[in-house]
Chains A and B, each alone.
Chain A
Amino acid sequence: MQEGKPLNSKQVNRELLVSILNSPKWFFGALAVLGLIVLIAMSTAGFMINQGFGVTGLNRPVMWGFFITNFVFWIGISHAGVMLSAILRLSKAEWRRPATRAAEILTVFSLMTAMTMPLIHTGRPWRTVYWIYTMPFVPYDYARGIWPNVRSPLVWDPSAVYTYLTSSILFVMVALIPDFAVLRDRTTGMSHRIYGMLAMGWQGNARQWKLQIIAGVLLSALILPVFVSVHSIVSWDFGMAVSVKSWHSTIFAPYFVVGAVHSGVSAVALVLIILRYIYGWQNYIRHEHIDALARLLIVVATGWFYFFVMEVIFGFYGREADEIAVRNLQFTVSPWNIWMMIFVGMTYFLPVSIWLSRSLRRNLWVMSLACIFVNIGMWLERFLIIVPGLARKQLLTFDWYTYRPTSVEWIIIVGTFALVSMLMLTIARVVPLIPLYDIKEGEILRTEIKIGRVTVPAVFRED
């Protein structure tokens, strides 16, 4: 699948480095607006920490609300990177080339953003330092001989997320070395020195390329099991909770992993469409790539829908009163039932109906809308797992409180979206969001084959 016109190295450098070497006029304006939103969100978080959780909608028994929903959402988005980069790299899918870098970087930033959520949610973030870093110069818990309880999923979770974050950063950095060399050769002064250091003296000899290719495959193979473990372990934050009936489900791990891939790949498709539009990368992010992503998403979405249905069926099948109370709330009580319909419609029926049509898959406006729908739906999914489950935690609880988020929570949530956008925009100014060497490799492997009376574009593939 090679629908675009042939490109030479000079053109690839000129067009893909445009975000770094010729930053568009709107760049600093957009950065300032996003920065302002992040600043407001940070101030709001500071206000909340100062005032206490009374300014949020959290109250017994619903002690996990928007923040934890948002945490799971951003962890989910982070699954795009490895899904696209590792799986497509290992399967040698040709259309992966323009998507991998943006997906990997989105992984890093969404993970970083995700990890701010539990910190904010603790209410006293500085206390977290004590149980993460039990070092002599942070003596509070260390001095009392208190160590993190490895039996708790809340300890497993950061160990998995930080493993994934560290691995993803290293994965991105190694793949960036050849592109840093291109930037080193195209810049002067301080930029030249910095890119020179980052390129580490890369020359592009046969040995370095061989190891770069091995790095891609080897690291993909190593990160894949981490990728599966991360959202499985995030799901165990819920699944291991015996006291919350609707969470205590063995299907949660695969259900969460597939859901994460669904939202993550949709987010990457949206990011690619935005990059194509703002940097004029029509030669690189082509309709065929978005089309391929949409076709992949049909499979992922259907897999996700299967797990969703199974989760609900198993919930009903047990006929346990606590579980039925949660399902009753989710499916029959307004506004939860309305949110439920919006969630299922936006996550599955609406986007999949769009993706079944070839012309709609290749309409970038419609595709953007479908990807936004998926992510609104997937955010709601997490919300509808967390809040009703806690609100109907026990049949005879002393308080059946209904959670209503406050403006403080809304502002912080909006701030996280601005933060990821700001970080993506900033990094686009520093590193190429489409891997130059990957695109160039695709070009040297490009060919045409004649079948009967038709000549079709094709790509050589090495074993």
Chain B
Amino acid sequence: MAKAPILGLFESADHAADAGDALKAAGVSPADYDFLTDTPYPEGAFGEREEPHRVYIFPFIGALIGLTVGIMLTSMTQFAYPLTQGGKPILSLPPMAVVTYESMMLTAIIFTIIGIIFESRLPAFKQGLYDTRITEGYIGVLVNVDEDQLGSTQTLLTQAGAIDVVRNDGGSAA
């Protein structure tokens, strides 16, 4: 059966956490519900699932690419236009280090940004069920359940203290 989203809005973190516990007890998979807030709460505040990610690998990849590009750029330009200065080597390493370092850092930072956005699952231009009250301080508990369980989930969220429950089909209950 197709899954449908349902969003419960809570005024306090305690009630949102209670809703999380109730969903878990009702057998809803942790992958099927999420907590939407307008500020970062301490990890585990709602008893939410661990969020594994691989963001730390991105700066390393970026740094390696930047390092390679930096070495190539600085060495190739020196060979392309050789400036002979009093018997000093054409390929001079100390100044190469400066430009190579900047190239490495720049690429590492750009890759970190790409990694952060990618791992955050952004951009998500097709926004799911959402309520603008979330950015006013309400805590949203977004649940994806089988369509025939929408009613029971709505009851569960309301019993946990939701001040409103929003559904895609327009159903809403205080």
A13 to B133 CA separation, bound complex (whole angstroms): 12
Tell me the A206-237 residues at the B interface (CB within 8 Å). Answer: 206-215, 218-219, 222-223, 225-226, 229, 233
A185 within 8 A of B: yes
Interface hub of B37, B53, B96 (most chain A Cβ within 10 A): B37
B2 within 8 A of A: no
Whether A204 and B110, one on each chain, are in contact in the complex, defined by CB atoms closer than 8 angstroms, is: no
Q: Which residues from chain B contact A64 at a C-beta distance below 8 Å?
A: none
Q: Which residues from chain A contact B46 at a C-beta distance below 8 Å?
A: 206
A148 within 8 A of B: yes
A145 to B78 CA separation, bound complex (whole angstroms): 11
A313 within 8 A of B: no
Whether B43 and A201, one on each chain, are in contact in the complex, defined by CB atoms closer than 8 angstroms, is: no
Whether B109 and A145, one on each chain, are in contact in the complex, defined by CB atoms closer than 8 angstroms, is: no
**Which 5 residue pairs of A and B lie closest in terms of their CB atoms, listed nearest first?**
A9-B137, A201-B124, A200-B123, A440-B39, A185-B132
List A residues at the B interface (Cβ < 8 Å): 8-10, 13, 145-152, 155-156, 159-160, 162-163, 166-167, 170-171, 174, 177-178, 181-182, 185-186, 200-215, 218-219, 222-223, 225-226, 229, 233, 436-437, 440-441, 443-445, 460, 462
A200 to B117 CA separation, bound complex (whole angstroms): 9
Whether A201 and B123, one on each chain, are in contact in the complex, defined by CB atoms closer than 8 angstroms, is: yes
Q: How far is the CB of A145 from chain B (nearest CB, A)?
A: 6
Whether A437 and B102, one on each chain, are in contact in the complex, defined by CB atoms closer than 8 angstroms, is: no
Q: Which residues from chain B contact A206 at a C-beta distance below 8 Å?
A: 34-35, 43, 46, 48-49, 51
**Per-position 1/0 for B41-76, Cβ under 8 A of A:** 111001011010101100100000000000001100
Q: Besides A200-B117, A444-B41, 8 other CB < 8 A contacts?
A: A147-B81, A149-B77, A150-B78, A150-B92, A163-B102, A207-B120, A209-B39, A218-B56
A345 to B102 CA separation, bound complex (whole angstroms): 36
Given contacts A159-B98, A203-B127, A203-B130, contact A166 B116 (CB under 8 A): no
Whether A222 and B108, one on each chain, are in contact in the complex, defined by CB atoms closer than 8 angstroms, is: yes
Given contacts A222-B59, A462-B42, contact A203 B36 (CB under 8 A): yes
Whether A163 and B105, one on each chain, are in contact in the complex, defined by CB atoms closer than 8 angstroms, is: yes
Q: Which residues from chain B contact A155 at a C-beta distance below 8 Å?
A: 99
Q: Which residues from chain B contact A146 at a C-beta distance below 8 Å?
A: 81
Closest to A233 in B: B98
Q: Which residues from chain A contact B140 at a C-beta distance below 8 Å?
A: 204
- 8 Å CB contact of A204 from B53, B74, B128, B135: B135
Q: Which residues from chain A contact B146 at a C-beta distance below 8 Å?
A: none
Whether A229 and B102, one on each chain, are in contact in the complex, defined by CB atoms closer than 8 angstroms, is: yes
Main secondary structure of the interface of A (DSSP, over half): helix
Whether B122 and A218, one on each chain, are in contact in the complex, defined by CB atoms closer than 8 angstroms, is: no
Given contacts A163-B105, A211-B53, contact A205 B95 (CB under 8 A): no
Whether A150 and B96, one on each chain, are in contact in the complex, defined by CB atoms closer than 8 angstroms, is: yes
Interface hub of A9, A149, A437 (most chain B Cβ within 10 A): A9
Whether A10 and B81, one on each chain, are in contact in the complex, defined by CB atoms closer than 8 angstroms, is: no
Given contacts A9-B136, A206-B48, A210-B53, contact A145 B80 (CB under 8 A): yes
A204 to B108 CA separation, bound complex (whole angstroms): 26
Q: Which residues from chain A contact B59 at a C-beta distance below 8 Å?
A: 218, 222
Whether A166 and B136, one on each chain, are in contact in the complex, defined by CB atoms closer than 8 angstroms, is: no
**What is the count of residue pairs linking A and B with beta-carbon distances less than 8 angstroms?**
184
A460 to B43 CA separation, bound complex (whole angstroms): 13
Q: Which residues from chain B contact A182 at a C-beta distance below 8 Å?
A: 38, 135
**Per-position 1/0 for B125-143, Cβ under 8 A of A:** 1111010101111001010
A365 to B53 CA separation, bound complex (whole angstroms): 48
Given contacts A201-B126, A204-B36, A229-B101, contact A174 B113 (CB under 8 A): yes
Whether B135 and A13, one on each chain, are in contact in the complex, defined by CB atoms closer than 8 angstroms, is: yes
Q: Which residues from chain B contact A225 at a C-beta distance below 8 Å?
A: 105
| CB-defined A-B contacts under 8 Å, sample of 22 | A10-B136, A150-B74, A150-B77, A150-B92, A156-B99, A182-B38, A185-B132, A185-B134, A200-B117, A207-B53, A207-B119, A208-B122, A211-B53, A212-B40, A214-B116, A218-B59, A219-B113, A222-B108, A226-B106, A441-B40, A444-B41, A460-B42
A212 to B53 CA separation, bound complex (whole angstroms): 12
Interface hub of A162, A208, A444 (most chain B Cβ within 10 A): A208
Whether B41 and A150, one on each chain, are in contact in the complex, defined by CB atoms closer than 8 angstroms, is: no
A163 to B98 CA separation, bound complex (whole angstroms): 12
Interface hub of B38, B73, B117 (most chain A Cβ within 10 A): B38
Q: Which residues from chain B contact A203 at a C-beta distance below 8 Å?
A: 36, 124, 127-128, 130, 134, 142
Interface hub of B77, B81, B119, B136 (most chain A Cβ within 10 A): B136
- 8 Å CB contact of A444 from B39, B101, B110: B39
Interface hub of B53, B74, B113, B125 (most chain A Cβ within 10 A): B113
B83 within 8 A of A: yes
Closest to A170 in B: B113
Whether A212 and B120, one on each chain, are in contact in the complex, defined by CB atoms closer than 8 angstroms, is: yes
Interface hub of A156, A162, A222 (most chain B Cβ within 10 A): A222
Given contacts A150-B95, A206-B51, A440-B38, contact A218 B43 (CB under 8 A): no
A220 to B97 CA separation, bound complex (whole angstroms): 22
Whether A160 and B102, one on each chain, are in contact in the complex, defined by CB atoms closer than 8 angstroms, is: yes
Whether A213 and B77, one on each chain, are in contact in the complex, defined by CB atoms closer than 8 angstroms, is: no
Given contacts A174-B113, A204-B37, contact A13 B122 (CB under 8 A): no
Whether A209 and B122, one on each chain, are in contact in the complex, defined by CB atoms closer than 8 angstroms, is: no
Q: Which residues from chain A contact B38 at a C-beta distance below 8 Å?
A: 9, 178, 182, 204, 436-437, 440
Whether B99 and A159, one on each chain, are in contact in the complex, defined by CB atoms closer than 8 angstroms, is: yes
Q: How far is the CB of A95 from chain B (nearest CB, A)?
A: 18
B153 within 8 A of A: no
